[in-house]
Structure 1
Amino acid sequence: MFVMPPPPPPAIPAPVIREDVRYYAIEGRGEPELVAQMNAKGYRDQHGRYWGYTSPQLKWSFDTQPAEGHCNLVDPKVVLTITTTLPAWTPPAGTSAAMTAKWHAFDRAIRHHEGEHARIARDEARELVALMRRHRRDVTCGGLDASLQAQGRVIMRRAEAANAELDRRTRHGATEGVAMGW
């Protein structure tokens, strides 16, 4: 009698990552006007208002299916949507070259800082895919589901802590140049 080995578990696709940058327009010729505009128009959530903000929305899902004495992971997906909100300023005619240069340095710094938050989110999505690639099969579907959920929560908590540590260490980017003290 010839016995066929069980089919291999399905391939786990790379995460789908979508990134969008949204701008809010600010106006003014100097620091006081720009700060006032960013304070009034920046991204707002329950914790306050931010001049720049990166909002990752991570969704991951999978099903399990029993097959020949074990359980396979089926239909695994990781989808990450990163929305970054930034100020946009066009220097009005007559703005000093020094003010324009300071803005460009600020703009580079805020993009870098928000880019660090986006990198943490991309790493989190890739870690979830790697987790599912390592754990495609288990003895029981309940065990497979519980294991993936528990380890997934660890990955998500680690990303949340990394974001909080980044903001604590940089004072929300201030030590990286996301500050107006001109």
Structure 2
Amino acid sequence: MLGAGAGAAKPKVSVKNKTYEVDATSVQGLKQQMKQRGPNGYWAYTDWYVRWSGSCALSVEITYTMPKHKNEGKMDAATRKSWKAMVSALKAHEEKHGAHGVQAAREIEQTRCANGDAVIKKWNKQDEVLDKRTRHGATEGVVLN
């Protein structure tokens, strides 16, 4: 970037969305299927990876893995409403994890790629803090009832 000051460049961010299928029609069945079929036993999961080159060009790859219902129309109205609200809250929660990856890349960029591994560890810890503080999103509406 000609004439741009340090830190003016943005890390290149790529996002992948993956899903796993559920087909239960009851709240209890949905919870059970998501625990069994979800990534690492979670209802959803976000992976982020920060890479940098010798010239300190940064990129972030974020992968969101979310549940997808095979046929929402088979759920009763109350369960479907709860499902849709939960999925929306779950996506918002997972996007906070994704934002941590972007923040890590920006911080690494600001230090001109010094201490990148320490920055990654710091933001991985922030993912843990977020999940502990929100009970994996439960306090943000990631509930089924």
Instruction: Please give the range of the TM-score, normalised by the shorter of the 2 chains.
Output: 0.7 to 0.9
> Quick one: which of 28, 35, 50 aligns to 2:31?
35
- Do the aligned partners of 2:58 and 2:109 also contact (CA within 8 Å) in 1? yes
Residue pairs, 1:39-58, within 5 angstroms? 39-44=35-40, 49-58=41-50
- Do the aligned partners of 2:15 and 2:61 also contact (CA within 8 Å) in 1? yes
Cα distance in 1 for partners of 2:92, 2:6 equals 34
Q: Sequence identity of aligned pairs in percent?
A: 29
2:48 matches 1:83: no
2:110 corresponds in structure 1 to: 130
Residue 106 (structure 1) shift: 0.3
Gaps in structure 2 of 5+ consecutive residues: none
2:116 matches 1:116: no
2:82 corresponds in structure 1 to: 102
Aligned length: 140
Instruction: Output the TM-score relative to the length of structure 1.
Output: 0.70
Residue 11 (structure 1) shift: 7.0
Cα distance in 2 for partners of 1:32, 1:157 equals 36
- Do the aligned partners of 2:46 and 2:97 also contact (CA within 8 Å) in 1? yes
2:129 corresponds in structure 1 to: 165
> Quick one: which of 10, 13, 16 aligns to 1:14?
10
- Do the aligned partners of 1:20 and 1:83 also contact (CA within 8 Å) in 2? yes
Structure number with larger C-alpha Rg? 1
| Greater strand fraction, Structure 1 or Structure 2 | 1
1:141 corresponds in structure 2 to: none
> Which whole-Å deviations, capped at 9, do the CAs of 1:126-164 have from their partners, x for residues lacking one?
1222222xxxxxxxxxxxxxxx533x3342232122111
- Do the aligned partners of 1:54 and 1:84 also contact (CA within 8 Å) in 2? yes
Equivalent position amino acid for 1:165 in 2? V
Equivalent position amino acid for 2:72 in 1? P
2:125 matches 1:179: no
| Greater helix fraction, Structure 1 or Structure 2 | 2
Gaps in structure 1 of 5+ consecutive residues: 1-7, 63-74, 133-147
RMSD: 2.1
- Do the aligned partners of 1:79 and 1:125 also contact (CA within 8 Å) in 2? yes
> Quick one: which of 17, 20, 24 aligns to 1:24?
20
Equivalent position amino acid for 1:119 in 2? A
